[in-house]
Amino acid sequence: MNDLHRTAHCGSILNFHADPGLDGDPASYDHWQRGALVVAGGRIEAVGPAAALLPAVSAHMPVIDHGERLIMPGFIDTHIHYPQTDVIASAGRNLLDWLEHYTFPAEQLFADAAHAREVAEFFLDELLRNGTTTAQVLGTVHRQSVDTFFQAAEARGLRMIAGKTLMDRNCPQPLRDSVAGGERDMRELIETWHGRDRLHYAITPRFAATSSVEQLQGAGRLAQQYPDVFIHSHLAENRDEVSWVRQLFPDSRSYLDVYDRCGLLRDRATYAHCIYLDATDRARMAASGAGAAFAPSANLYLGSGLFDIAASDAAGMRFALATDVGGGSSFSMLRTMADAYKVAQLSNQQLSPLRAFYLATLAGARMLGLSDRIGRFAPGTEADFIVLDPKATPLLARRTAQSRSLSELLLVLMTLADDRAVAATYILGEPQELP
């Protein structure tokens, strides 16, 4: 590789290898106060302490010095709705009220391709501004909402997962598809987009209450035909929703069991929320390989409930963080970490700052089956990374100046920082220019 195409980034580098757990296991991550990240052809070539690494790789390579700023893999948001960008901060009393009064009307606007394109571009700018480099994204019921989203993501070279929502009942008529129509759209979208550049398709029933059993079974058959396609839905977010699903599917043991019977539990399946699960459900989630998107901001904003970190750990269940905009009230994974910390506090549980940063990066990559490409720095992984400025605001500068350890610095960042602290977002080694 010509040195002109190689760049070294120097700064404070944080890189996880595994879950740091409650105590911040030192073997689970590397942190170099003065580290170097060598990028070549959009991929990571090497990472390590600058003093040892730089002389070994080249004398002539351009070096970008980020000073004391923190260089780390980009955030991974495992559950977010791009069509809900404009309903963020709307006053729903609870999940079902909020869907009816804000979300469903907003989603109907995506029948218009020009509207979808404008929102998709704004949404992607906002993700990158917040340091989120990969997300698992719901579209609307309209096939073109996903075509439009993928076109916008492809033009920016982003690694993104998306799918059209399936809804054939219990929603407004303009947002309703059919078993056959939904399946035809999904097949066409998978054939067009899945595996193209850095894009992946997710089979996306909105949730059990808005799909007939025939539609869920069809989604399960498709998931079997395309084993590397993702599955993405909602599960056990709110008590009224859980009782409604119980009425709609009286033969199922639990809400989770509805999906299980339809063949929708496997690796690369993500269920958002997973608040009202019992021990049998959690064991089944763990055994199946499916994971939970823990969306604390949305859970607090809609008053849904508290995700049980300890019970999920005890069951060996996979989970990672998600914003769930627009139920979630911020695009920022830093704000989301702050909310996750508070959810743990309210549950008399613990979330260490190291683990919070892990849950916002490598945990998501692992849950999505993408950790060979994103979520960590290793030779050959994709150079999607961010630079966080611990001095981005006067209060951050004052407080981080007094931090005595990496853990303390991370706790201050996740408690006080937001998009203002994201000094740069790199995609495949290229800095992103944002409006």
Q: What's the burial of 229, exposed, middle or buried (CB within 10 Å: 0-12/13-18/19+)?
A: buried
- The total number of residues written for the chain in this structure: 435
**Cβ distance 410 to 354 under 8 Å?**
yes
Least distance to Zn ion, CB of residue 166, Å: 14
Least distance to Zn ion, CB of residue 13, Å: 33
Site string for Zn ion, 66-95 (x = CB under 5 A): ------------------------------
**CB of 72 or CB of 298, closer to Zn ion:** 298
Q: Is 25 helix (H, G, I), strand (E, B) or coil?
A: coil
Least distance to Zn ion, CB of residue 210, Å: 12
**Cβ distance 124 to 156 under 8 Å?**
yes
Least distance to Zn ion, CB of residue 297, Å: 11
Least distance to Zn ion, CB of residue 170, Å: 16
**CB of 235 or CB of 272, closer to Zn ion:** 272
| 26-30, Cβ contacts within 8 angstroms, sequence gap of 24 or more | 28/354, 28/358, 29/354, 29/358
Q: Which of these segments, 89-97, 183-191, 271-279, 367-375, binds Zn ion (CB under 5 A)?
A: 271-279
**CB of 238 or CB of 361, closer to Zn ion:** 238
Three-state SS letters, 217-240: HHHHHHHHHCCCCEEEEEECCCHH
Asked if 241 touches Zn ion (CB under 5 A), the answer is no
Read out DSSP for 388-401?
E-TTSSHHHHHHHT
Q: Which of 60, 34, 133, 50 is nearest to 429 (CA)?
A: 133
**CB of 79 or CB of 318, closer to Zn ion:** 79
Least distance to Zn ion, CB of residue 307, Å: 13
Residue partners of 174: CB distance under 8 A and separation at least 6: 108, 111
Number of residues that bind Zn ion (CB under 5 A): 2
Least distance to Zn ion, CB of residue 31, Å: 33
**CB of 135 or CB of 334, closer to Zn ion:** 135
The residue type found at 429 is G
Q: Which of these segments, 208-216, 305-313, 317-325, 359-367, binds Zn ion (CB under 5 A)?
A: 317-325
Read out DSSP for 363-384?
HHHHHTT-TTTSSS--TTSB--
**CB of 272 or CB of 388, closer to Zn ion:** 272
Q: Which of these segments, 120-128, 142-150, 270-278, 409-417, binds Zn ion (CB under 5 A)?
A: 270-278
**CB of 166 or CB of 409, closer to Zn ion:** 166
Site string for Zn ion, 272-291 (x = CB under 5 A): x-------------------
Composition of the chain by helix, strand, coil, percent to 5: 45, 25, 35
Asked if 324 touches Zn ion (CB under 5 A), the answer is yes
Q: Which of these segments, 22-30, 33-41, 50-58, 320-328, binds Zn ion (CB under 5 A)?
A: 320-328
Residue partners of 86: CB distance under 8 A and separation at least 6: 106, 119, 326
Residue nearest Zn ion by beta-carbon distance:
324
Least distance to Zn ion, CB of residue 132, Å: 15
233 pairs with which residues across the strands? 271
Least distance to Zn ion, CB of residue 160, Å: 16
- By CB under 5 A, the residues from 155 to 214 that bind Zn ion are none
Distance CA 326, CA 88 (A): 4
Q: Which of 200, 199, 163 is nearest to 183 (CA)?
A: 163
48 pairs with which residues across the strands? 36
Helix H or strand E encompassing 336 = helix 333-346
Helix axis angle for 143-155 and 179-193, nearest 10°, is 10
Least distance to Zn ion, CB of residue 106, Å: 13
Least distance to Zn ion, CB of residue 256, Å: 17
Site string for Zn ion, 98-117 (x = CB under 5 A): --------------------
Q: Which of these segments, 9-17, 323-331, 403-411, 423-431, binds Zn ion (CB under 5 A)?
A: 323-331
**CB of 35 or CB of 364, closer to Zn ion:** 364
**What secondary structure letter does DSSP report for 361?**
T
**CB of 138 or CB of 190, closer to Zn ion:** 138
Q: Which of these segments, 27-35, 91-99, 176-184, 319-327, binds Zn ion (CB under 5 A)?
A: 319-327
Taking the CB of residue 290, how many other CB atoms lie within 10 A of it? 26
**CB of 260 or CB of 324, closer to Zn ion:** 324
Q: Tell me which residues touch Zn ion (CB under 5 A).
A: 272, 324
